[in-house]
Chains A and B, each alone.
Chain A
Amino acid sequence: MDESDLPTWPPGTDLETVGTGVPRREAPAKVTGGAVYSSDLRLPGQLYAAIARSPHPHARVRSIDTERARRQPGVVSVIAGEEGGEGVTWYEESVPLFGPVARFAGDEVAAVAATSLEAARDAVRALNVDYEVLAHVVGIDEAQRPEAPSIHGTPGNRTTDPKVEERGDVAAALAAAPIRIEHTYRTPTAVHNALETHGAVAWWQPDRLTIWASTQGVTQVAQMTAEALGLDQSQVRVITEHVGGGFGAKQVPWKDVAIAALLSRRTGRPVQCAYDRHGENVAAGKRGATRQRVRIGADTDGRLLAIDAELVGDSGAYQTAGEAAALWGPYQGLYRCDNVRTSVTYVYTNTGPAVAFRAPGYVEAAFALESAMDELAHRLGVDPIELRRRNHTGVDQQQAKPWSSPDSLPLIYDRISALAGWDARPRNAPPAPGGDGGVRRGWGFAASDWLAGKANPPGYASVELRTDGSAEVVTTVQDIGTGTRTVLAQVAAEELQLPVEEVRVTLGDTAAGPPSPTSSGSATTPTMAPAVRAAAADARHQLVAAAARQLDCAPGDVTLDHGKLVAANSGSRTVAEVLEGLSPAAVHGWGELVAVDDSVSVRTFGAAVAEVSVDTGTGEVRVTRMVSVPDCGRVLNPTLVASQIIGGVTQGIGFALTESQLVDAELGLPVNDSLEEYLVPTVLDICPIEAVPLDRPDTGANQLGVKGIGEPPMIPVAPAIANAVFDAIGIRFHELPLTRRRVLDALAEAASPDESEPA
């Protein structure tokens, strides 16, 4: 059954299980140590792999002497160089798995399988690799200079030609605009740093390859691995029971999968290959740094007349598959504006490859655009939220069609304003230039949109009914810690009128059914929940038809009423009785979501308010309160949605204040490649967070009115914080993160009369 053949759950529908805070189903397993992650796997005869990585940011591998490594105790197999990679190519550039050229410090050159991890690591240290060191370049500005070393032989180290999108006449509109704001904004390289590193266990048996992967996409891993290894996809099975965090970096397979597979083929034994924390920091993806030259023109009421954005992002040494960082997005879509031009360029640098990281591109662009909008509001003396209202659009201006939820943003503005107490916020007296050494407080606001959060078809599911009164949902999709199992159980329970405890969910295994989407683009729930609902409805229809036959009446006369099938005039039967009557046939419902309505543009909107304190003596910014109001359509489970919101806000606080991968320009080496030096937030960095989704079914998105929630809450956080810092100390920051050093420098500059900007 196709989900679009079912009636919508209209707003206000009285639902029993959907919309309640059903506890996360795997929580008991996760608090008792029973949840098994791919890194926990211990198969009989399993070997452990370790990877040799280039210590140089750019080097040619002249030769690799593996003799000493092979003689180490416990070593079973060593694969090195192009021969060791067996023709497997990687990344969008299709470079050899172990390339003759290393393009970042951490690029893989060889791997070892041994009977213990210690032995494998010892053997890696015993490899003798002869490198010819080449000139390197890090940093997007430096990589674009004519004299920069060329990383892939492309002009200006660009990955492709700039992607330019323009509507209207931006130059003329900017020139004519009475108010103009122009700045160059910068965002740092941020590392996902999921606590479970990228890793896989591969077991190559004759004609089939089984992979237990820490991934956001079992189907994606099966497809890409089969392609890379020259196998038929039917020969590759990928299993993911639990994942220790992904945040985008695990939406494509990384080299751990191929290395484990090749070593397993050579040894005939299962091989576990997991990155260590250093590898995770340098070679498993990042949110690439950006430089954004933004020019905004507005009229004296604050209505946008023109936006021009020159956007440059750091791709690292290679391009990866998966979601692109859509840096153009907020500029093109968040506000009504007839004249918009965005130009996006990604450049290669001799650093680890970038990959999608929670709302890729939008998090970076929102910092710039929403800082500029706040500046415009202050320049005009217009309330920042009122300024957004004046620039609201209900239309996707790029595609010239309406949003599926055109009034979401105005409703969000109302809701967050009331929740935060925005209009009653304390108004600061102008701060002393440079601060007076005391602590000042401020409030900031930012809005957001996100191009995803809609279904990513196809999604397939089945639902089988059991005579014990239970149901089993089966789908291949994975649960990456967002609560997918739980919400799918709720949706099936709703449609079948079962207690949610009576619904089992089996997922995370490509052998269990047809392909499923990767958990990216906040697409899992809007794709899979409608498919599961359709499967459950199909099962219900089969059950009703069987009951009608047994009760000798028309199906239209039978209704399901909480475990009983009641016929208008012919009595009733329990579900178990009907199923027993059917035996050995069974009720096996099938559901799918294979297309989405193209007549509307589905977006997920949101907004955040931040309260901060800034210590003008130490430069420390502390976020003291966050309010977040995202729109994810109908809320299937308020507890799980709130968890996603606080998680996104927490990562946003890290992005705003502390997170930045630092690479020494001269050495080309990351200097903070550990969790001691790369500063993710701790429990003491996080303030109270009010997480209040709009909870308004978006029936343009699908029949359930559900949209995704994973990514959007992170988007407005950093600009809301930066705007609050401006409110506190009167200094506008154009670069993240807002470290103490940066804040102190800015305070010192503001205190120097020569440097102060004219009002």
Chain B
Amino acid sequence: MLTLTVNGQPHPVAVEPRRILLDVLRRDLGLTGTKEVCEMGNCGACTVLLDDEAVYSCLVLAVECEAQEIETVEGLARGQELTAVQEAFVACDALQCGFCTPGQILSMEGALRRRPDADEAALTEAVTGNLCRCGAYRNIVAAAGRVAATSSGGAG
């Protein structure tokens, strides 16, 4: 038995040591916003924040995460209020099927936790490990630009 802290909530779970965080989030905790695509760290769709750092949850064992703060896409918005990254993805139509979207967003959120004034290039760099098969990349770059404009405006 271990306790995972996900989106600020403690979740006691019993898991086999071999099970990955992605699978425990999706199957045991019902947090299916984190997507399973490749299970081998190729695509970024399962990205979550672990103590503010973006990680592929398919490459992390659940038992490693007991003492850490886990954040998933479900934990970002406060009620109806989207984060700047989420708002930018909607405004720029930076998604089509939406399957890669949670991972893209968390990768950018991770970059912003490290550097709240991250510019478009840095936010784009943050999603280089997130594949989008629909090919929404140009709009994802536009979303990065919109976030950067907002955050630097806020900082200035």
Contacts and interface: CB of A to CB of B under 8 A. Distances in A.
Contact of A643 (B43, B90, B96): B96
Contacts of A651: 133, 135
Interface in A150-202: 192-197
Contacts of A116: 27
B135 A646 contact: yes
B138 A688 contact: yes
Contacts of B96: 245, 481-483, 643-644, 647
A683 B103 CA distance: 14
Given A23-B93, A195-B97, A196-B97, A33 B32 contact: yes
B63 to A, nearest CB: 15
A195 B37 contact: yes
Given A276-B39, A277-B40, A195 B141 contact: no
Interface stretch (B49-57, B71-79, B111-119, B148-156): B71-79
A244 B93 contact: no
Nearest to A197: B37
Interface in A247-290: 247, 276-277
Nearest to A642: B93
B13 interface: no
Interface in A632-659: 639-640, 642-644, 646-651
Contacts of A40: 26, 32
B134 A42 contact: no
B42 interface: yes
B135 A195 contact: no
B95 interface: yes
A218 interface: no
Contacts of B136: 643, 646-647
Contacts of A675: 37-38, 42-43, 131
B34 interface: yes
B47 interface: no
Contacts of B102: 31, 33
B80 to A, nearest CB: 8
A650 B94 CA distance: 14
B99 A196 contact: yes
B115 to A, nearest CB: 18
A427 interface: no
A245 B82 contact: no
Nearest to A32: B77
A366 B32 CA distance: 41
Given A195-B100, A482-B96, A32 B86 contact: yes
A277 B39 contact: yes
A23 B99 contact: no
Residue with the highest number of chain B CB atoms closer than 10 Å, among A23, A24, A482, A646: A646
Contact of A480 (B42, B72, B74, B97): B97
B70 interface: no
A247 B23 CA distance: 27
A683 B130 contact: yes
A32 B133 contact: no
Contacts of B18: 118
A644 B99 CA distance: 16
Given A277-B39, A686-B135, A32 B128 contact: no
A194 B23 CA distance: 20
Nearest to A21: B93
Contacts of A649: 135
A37 B26 CA distance: 12
A193 B43 CA distance: 11
A30 B39 contact: no
A27 interface: yes
A23 B98 contact: no
A684 B38 contact: no
A642 to B, nearest CB: 8
B99 A683 contact: no
B35 interface: yes
Given A245-B134, A651-B135, A194 B90 contact: no
A356 to B, nearest CB: 16
B139 A643 contact: yes
A431 interface: no
B138 A247 contact: no
Nearest to A643: B93
Contacts of B93: 23-24, 27, 639-640, 642-643
B42 A676 contact: yes
Interface string A3-32: 000000000000000000001101111111
B8 interface: no
Residue with the highest number of chain A CB atoms closer than 10 Å, among B43, B77, B89: B43
Contacts of A24: 90, 93, 95
Contacts of A117: 23, 27
A481 B135 CA distance: 12
Contacts of A683: 124, 127-128, 130, 132, 137, 140-141
Given A643-B96, A683-B141, A244 B35 contact: yes
B133 A195 contact: yes
A650 B26 CA distance: 30
Given A36-B32, A195-B35, A30 B133 contact: no
A195 B105 contact: no
A30 B98 contact: yes
Contacts of B30: 42
B137 A650 contact: yes
A756 interface: no
A371 interface: no
A583 interface: no
B37 A33 contact: no
Interface of B: 16, 18-19, 23, 26-27, 30-40, 42-43, 45, 72-74, 76-77, 82, 86, 89-91, 93, 95-102, 105, 124, 127-128, 130-141
27 contacts: A27-B90, A29-B98, A31-B102, A32-B33, A32-B77, A33-B74, A118-B18, A194-B97, A195-B43, A195-B45, A195-B97, A196-B99, A197-B37, A242-B97, A242-B98, A245-B133, A481-B134, A643-B96, A644-B96, A647-B135, A649-B135, A650-B138, A675-B131, A683-B127, A683-B130, A683-B132, A683-B140
Interface of A: 23-24, 26-37, 39-40, 42, 116-118, 192-197, 242-247, 276-277, 480-483, 639-640, 642-644, 646-651, 674-676, 680-684, 686, 688-689
The 6 closest A-B pairs by CB, nearest first: A33-B33, A650-B135, A481-B97, A244-B99, A30-B98, A40-B32
Given A39-B35, A646-B139, A647-B96, 17 more contacts: A27-B93, A31-B82, A32-B86, A33-B31, A36-B32, A194-B99, A195-B37, A195-B131, A196-B97, A196-B99, A245-B96, A277-B37, A481-B98, A647-B134, A675-B43, A681-B135, A683-B127
